[in-house]
C-alpha cells in the first residue's frame, strides 16, 4: 500500500467516524456565528474528534477546521500538506432535520486538493477521490452526466447569502436563479456545497453554481468532481483554484454554456447596478 493509499484510508475512516457522530448524536446547543448562520455543539464535537484522529495518525500534516479557522486564505498562507474539514456541511439542513448534510474532508497540497472524502450518513453515501485515481461513490467508479444542452440539464445553485451585504449579494443570486429557470430543465438548491459537487460528479445533476469558495466547503467536492470528469472553474471560466471567487462545476458538454449564462447575468447586473458578483463571504 502506497503512502497516498494509507492517507486515503485514514481520511475515509476519520470521515466515517464523523458521519457516525452526525447520524447518532443530538445537535446540542445551537449558536449564531453571524446573522442567520449557525453552528451546533455537534459541529464542534465532530471537528475536535477528527482533529484528534488525524493529528494522532498524521502528526506531520496540519489540520484546519471550519469552526476553528484562523487563516482564511489557505491557498496563499498554507504550504505543504493540510487537512481541511467541514464537520457538518449543511448545518442548517441538519438542524431542521433535512438529511442533505455531510462530513467533508480534504487533503490539500500547497492549497490545492489532492484527496477528498464526503460522507453523507443519512443518505448512506460516501464519495472519495485521489488525484489522478478517479472518483468513487460507495466503492463504485463514477462519471459525470451526459446532458449536452442546458435545456435538458438539472443545475443546482448554492445557498443565498446571509450576514453582511446579503441584500446586494442576493440580488445577484436571484438574477442568476431567474436566468437558470428560463434556460435549464430544472433548478435545485440542496443547501450543501459538498453534495452539490458530489452530485455533479455522480451525474445526478449536470452542473452546480456555488457563489463562494471556502475550502472547507468545496475542496473535497472539487477534487471528486474533477476526478469524475467534470470541469471545475471560476465563474469567468478560468481554472478553479484556492483564489477563485466562485465554484462552478459541470459536465464537459455544458460547462462553457453554463459559464456564458453566468457571464451574461453578471454583465446585465453590473450594467444595472454597477456591481460585480461577490462571493458569499
Tell me the per-residue pLDDT of 102-111, one tens digit each, with 9 for 90 and over: 999 999 999 9
Cβ contacts of 101 within 8 Å, gap of 6 or more: 22, 88, 89, 90, 91, 93, 94, 120, 122, 191, 192
Report how far residue 184's alpha carbon sits from residue 187's, in angstroms, rounded to the nearest whole number: 7
Tell me the pTM.
0.92
CB 259 within 8 A of CB 236: yes
Residue 96, exposed/middle/buried by CB under 10 A (0-12, 13-18, 19+)?
Answer: exposed
pLDDT for 280 equals 43
pLDDT at 180 over 70: yes
Please state the rounded mean pLDDT for residues 173-196: 96
Q: What are the tens digits of pLDDT across the range 101-148? A: 999 999 999 999 999 999 999 999 999 999 999 999 999 999 999 999
Report how far residue 208's alpha carbon sits from residue 258's, in angstroms, rounded to the nearest whole number: 9
- Give me the CATH code for the 3-141 domain, please: 3.30.540.10
pLDDT at 26 over 80: yes
The CATH number of domain 150-273 is 3.30.450.20: no
Please state the rounded mean pLDDT for residues 259-265: 94
Report how far residue 107's alpha carbon sits from residue 81's, in angstroms, rounded to the nearest whole number: 7
pLDDT for 2 equals 82
pLDDT for 36 equals 67
pLDDT at 8 over 50: yes
Start-to-end CA span in the chain (Å): 40
Domain with CATH 3.30.540.10 in the chain: 3-141
pLDDT at 48 over 50: yes
Minimal CA–CA distance to 248: which of 216, 210, 276? 210
Supply 29's cell numbers: 446547543
Q: Above pLDDT 70, what percent of the chain?
A: 90
pLDDT confidence bin for 66, thresholds 50/70/90: confident
pLDDT confidence bin for 277, thresholds 50/70/90: low
pLDDT confidence bin for 172, thresholds 50/70/90: confident
Domain with CATH 3.40.190.80 in the chain: 150-273
Amino acid at each position: 500500500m502506497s503512502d497516498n493509499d494509507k492517507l486515503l484510508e485514514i481520511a475515509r475512516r476519520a470521515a466515517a467516524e464523523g458521519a457516525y457522530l452526525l447520524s447518532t448524536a443530538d445537535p446540542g446547543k445551537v449558536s449564531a456565528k453571524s446573522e442567520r448562520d449557525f453552528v451546533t455543539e455537534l459541529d464542534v464535537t465532530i471537528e475536535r474528534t477528527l482533529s484528534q484522529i488525524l493529528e494522532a495518525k498524521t502528526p506531520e500534516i496540519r489540520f484546519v477546521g471550519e469552526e476553528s479557522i484562523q487563516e482564511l486564505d489557505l491557498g496563499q498562507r498554507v504550504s505543504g500538506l493540510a487537512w481541511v474539514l467541514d464537520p457538518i456541511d449543511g448545518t442548517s439542513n441538519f438542524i431542521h432535520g433535512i438529511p442533505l448534510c455531510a462530513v467533508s474532508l480534504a487533503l490539500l497540497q500547497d492549497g490545492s486538493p489532492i484527496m477528498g472524502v464526503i460522507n453523507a450518513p443519512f443518505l448512506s453515501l460516501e464519495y472519495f477521490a485521489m488525484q489522478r485515481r478517479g472518483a468513487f461513490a460507495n466503492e463504485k467508479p463514477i462519471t459525470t452526466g451526459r446532458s449536452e444542452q442546458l435545456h435538458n440539464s438539472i443545475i443546482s445553485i448554492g445557498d443565498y447569502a446571509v450576514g453582511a451585504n446579503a441584500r446586494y449579494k442576493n440580488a445577484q443570486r436571484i438574477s442568476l436563479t431567474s436566468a437558470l429557470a428560463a434556460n435549464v430543465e430544472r433548478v435545485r438548491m440542496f443547501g450543501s456545497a459538498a453534495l452539490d459537487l458530489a452530485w455533479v460528479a455522480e451525474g445526478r445533476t449536470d452542473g452546480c453554481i456555488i457563489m463562494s469558495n471556502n475550502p472547507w466547503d468545496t475542496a473535497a467536492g472539487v477534487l471528486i468532481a474533477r476526478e469524475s470528469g467534470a470541469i471545475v472553474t471560476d465563474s469567468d471560466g478560468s481554472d478553479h483554484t484556492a483564489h477563485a471567487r466562485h465554484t462552478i462545476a459541470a459536465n464537459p458538454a455544458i460547462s462553457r454554456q453554463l459559464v456564458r449564462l453566468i457571464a451574461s447575468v453578471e454583465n446585465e447586473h453590473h450594467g444595472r447596478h454597477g456591481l460585480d458578483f461577490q462571493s458569499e463571504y
